[in-house]
Amino acid sequence: MSGESDKTEKMTAALRKAGIRVTRQRIALLGVLADADDHPDAVELHARARAVEPSVSLATVYRTLSVLQEQGVVHRHAFEGGGARFETTHEDHHDHILDVDTGEVIEFQSDIIERVQDEIARELGYEVVHHRLELYCRKKR
C-alpha cells in the first residue's frame, strides 16, 4: 500500500521503452510483485492481482510473468515440489534456503561458493551461464 509506486514506475517505464504495452492487468501484477517480499507462485500472484484488478486471468499472469522474466524484471524459481515461484529481480545475486517444514524461503549469498563454481567449470573447459543452488533445510532445535 505504500512504496510501491516507485518500483512500479521504474518497471512500467522500462516496459514502455521496450515497446511493451502497459495494461491494467500488467500494472496490477507489477504492483503485486513490487509489494511481495516472499516468493509467491502464479496462483498466489493471480489471487493478489485479482484483489486489485478483478479482470486478470491466470493465463495473463503466466504470460506477463514470462514477459517480465524476458525483460529481466522477475526471476522464476522451480523449487522442489509444486509450481514455479517468482520474485522481483533485485540488484544482488543470491541463492535460496528452503525450510522443508514450512516452505519458507530465505535468501543467502556466498562469494566463496560463487568463486569455486566458476573455478570448477573453468577447469573442465566450461563457463557458467547460470546456476541453481538450493539448500533444503530444517530448523535446528
Q: Give the three cell numbers for residue 79.
A: 523449487
> Of 32-91, which residues contact a copy of itself (CB under 8 A)?
78, 80
Q: Which is nearer to a copy of itself, 1 or 112 (CB)?
A: 112
Q: Minimum distance between the CB of residue 97 and a copy of itself, rounded to whole angstroms?
A: 6
Residue 94 and residue 82 in contact, taking contact as beta carbons nearer than 8 Å: no
Supply the DSSP string of 3-25, one letter for each residue. Answer: THHHHHHHHHHHHHHTT----HH
CA–CA gap between residue 38 and residue 44 (Å, rounded): 11
Site stretch for a copy of itself (CB under 8 A), options 6-14, 18-26, 27-35, 117-125 = 117-125
Q: Which is nearer to a copy of itself, 21 or 140 (CB)?
A: 140
CA–CA gap between residue 23 and residue 66 (Å, rounded): 15
Q: Give which of 25, 39, 111, 115 is closest to 75, Cα–Cα.
A: 39
> Of 75-114, which residues contact DNA (CB under 7 A)?
78, 82-84
Q: List the single partner that 125 binds among DNA, a copy of itself, none, CB under 5 to 8 Å by kind.
A: a copy of itself
Asked if 94 is part of the footprint of a copy of itself (rule: CB under 8 A), the reply reads no
Q: List the single partner that 69 binds among DNA, a copy of itself, none, CB under 5 to 8 Å by kind.
A: none
